[in-house]
Amino acid sequence: MRRGLVLVVSAPSGAGKTTLCRKLLATDPEISFSVSYTTRRPRPKEKNGVDYFFVDENTFQKMINQGLFLEWAWVHGHFYGTAQKQVEEALTSGRDVLLDIDVQGALQVRQRLGRDAVLVFILPPSLEELERRLRARGTEEEEILKRRLAAAKEEIAKANEFDYLVLNDHLEEAFSNFYAILIAERQKNFRQQELLSRFR
Ligand code: 5GP
């Protein structure tokens, strides 16, 4: 059995991360999504246990104290965290896990999991294009938009810590590059020691 890997994906908001992650989950049956915990309120159509586990701050704090998180961070005014158990169970049973988390969280995962984690940063074509995409969403107020753009610059400044950069200019091309990373990482020697043991 191959050792599972943790595909960690981060990006500034508006870079198209959610679309790429959804497409990956729909395309590849061997990777599953790690459902995070958050203290933010559900948006319309979001389901508890599917999009997130929605919990209050008290519960979240208790989980931190009990050491239940692989990583956690304060993002845009709320707590977000990845449960250690979900990820560990997947890894030991040879399944891959997709984490859609922010940069702070991604760097914590790298620290904790070393080469079991593969860090991918999704880049927009430019800051101007990012601003255009955020405006086109039409949901953001001017002040929030300015804050998201400033946050984007800070996040991109940390992109050098990631293993891969995927430019999301054209979705289809970005997706095939993104998927290629997963396919190639699965063939890494250290994840496939079992293959060689057949020949000993
Ligand atoms: P949203 O509230 O829009 O769903 O997500 C806001 C940000 O929080 C996104 O960048 C998302 O990737 C990040 N996020 C979601 N879950 C987690 C998590 O478990 N840990 C961390 N560190 N960030 C998360």
In a domain, 102, yes or no: yes
73 lines ligand 1 (CB under 6 A): yes
Per-residue pLDDT tens digits for 102-161: 999 999 999 999 999 999 999 999 999 999 988 888 766 888 888 889 999 999 999 999
- Give domain status of residue 111, yes or no: yes
Number of domains in the chain: 1
| Residue 1 within any structural domain of the chain | no
**Would you state the pLDDT for residue 114?**
96
Q: What pLDDT sits at residue 31?
A: 96
Pairing type for strands 52-54 and 78-83 reads unpaired
**148 Cβ inside 6 Å of ligand 1:** no
> Which CATH number characterizes residue 124's domain?
3.40.50.300
**pLDDT, position 187:** 95
Nearest CA to ligand 1 atom 19: 81
- Could you identify the atom of ligand 1 that is nearest to the CA of residue 81? 19
Closest residue by CA, ligand 1 atom 3: 13
In a domain, 171, yes or no: yes
Query: What secondary structure does DSSP assign to 2-54, as a single string?
Result: PPP-EEEEE--TTSSHHHHHHHHHHH-TTEEEPPEEESSPPPTT--BTTTEEE
Please tell me if the CB atom of residue 102 comes closer than 6 angstroms to any atom of ligand 1.
yes
Consecutive 10-residue averages of pLDDT for the chain (200 residues):
93 94 97 97 95 98 98 95 94 93 98 96 95 82 87 95 97 98 96 90
Quick check: 118 and 98 in contact, CB under 8 A?
no
The pTM of the whole model exceeds 0.85: yes
**If you search the block for the tokens 């927009």, which residue do you land on?**
124
Q: Is 122 in the pocket of ligand 1 (CB under 6 A)?
A: no
Atom 11 of ligand 1, nearest CA residue: 101
pLDDT at residue 140 in the model: 66
Domain enclosing residue 145, as ranges:
6-197
Query: Which tokens hold the place of 154?
Result: 């800070």
Token duo for residue 26:
């729909």
Residues 6+ apart with CB under 8 A from 21: 9, 33, 98, 100
| 32-68: b (≥16 Cβ within 10 Å) or e | ebbbbbbbeeeeeeeeeeeebbbbeeeebeebeeeeb
